[in-house]
Amino acid sequence: MECALGLTHVKVWSIPDGDLVGAFKPELGTSHRGRVFINPGGRPCLVAWDPGGVFSVFDVLSGDRTASFRDANAPMNVMVNEAEWRLTAEGEDSAGRYRRAVATVWDLATGRRLEKLSADRRLPGYLDRSAVDGFGDRAVSPDGRLHAVAVRTESGSMAVALQEAASDREVFRAEHGESLRVRTAFSADGQFLLANWESDRHSEVDVWEL
């Protein structure tokens, strides 16, 4: 599943053959930000917001908007608890002459505001990226024999190194000179290695059969 950096689309691809099997265009403004999270029912959902604090939740597979709400403060930091399906939006609230950092907790299923608390109070289980995102800086194959890591080459470009877990012997390397970051993953059956190359302008995925 690929979420464009500008939220122009979310696309679903078949790993073995690279076929596009689904696409969703949320038709949001260019100033919107957001990410795909997985709700407690296992459905991928796009959680998006604009600088003014208007939030929208979309079911990616159907394209339906399932919830919307407005936070009173401009969101500076947004995190989601996928297990409880809740969101915290941190911003600045005015209290007389003073401004204070606050966080508002929202129910993503209903769009209902649950509570407002100090931004210093940290809630467990809230992350800025999906906890079930298969990509990371280091990935281990399902059988544990291989691991893939992101490395920076002597020339400064990003690369993916596939290594034997027992010996750290490198068996494969792929570079991508234009990327600022790369995250890796294995398919659930262990037959494919994936690399998500990211830059300021675009994101792309390479797939190798093992």
pLDDT means per 10 residues in the chain (210 residues)? 84 88 89 93 95 95 95 92 96 71 94 88 86 83 94 87 94 85 90 88 85
What is the pLDDT at residue 30?
84
Contact present, 56 and 71 (Cβ < 8 Å): no
| pLDDT of 89 | 94
Tally the residues of the chain. 210
Which pLDDT value is given to residue 94? 64
pTM for the model: 0.76
CA pair distance 144, 167, nearest whole angstrom: 12
CA distance 55 to 122: 21
Number of H helices, E strands in the chain: 0, 18
Question: What pLDDT was estimated at residue 95?
Answer: 58
Within 10 angstroms of residue 166's Cβ, the number of other Cβ atoms is 9
Q: What is the pLDDT of residue 97?
A: 62
Residues contacting residue 101 through CB under 8 Å, at least 6 positions apart: 90, 91, 92, 93, 118, 119, 120
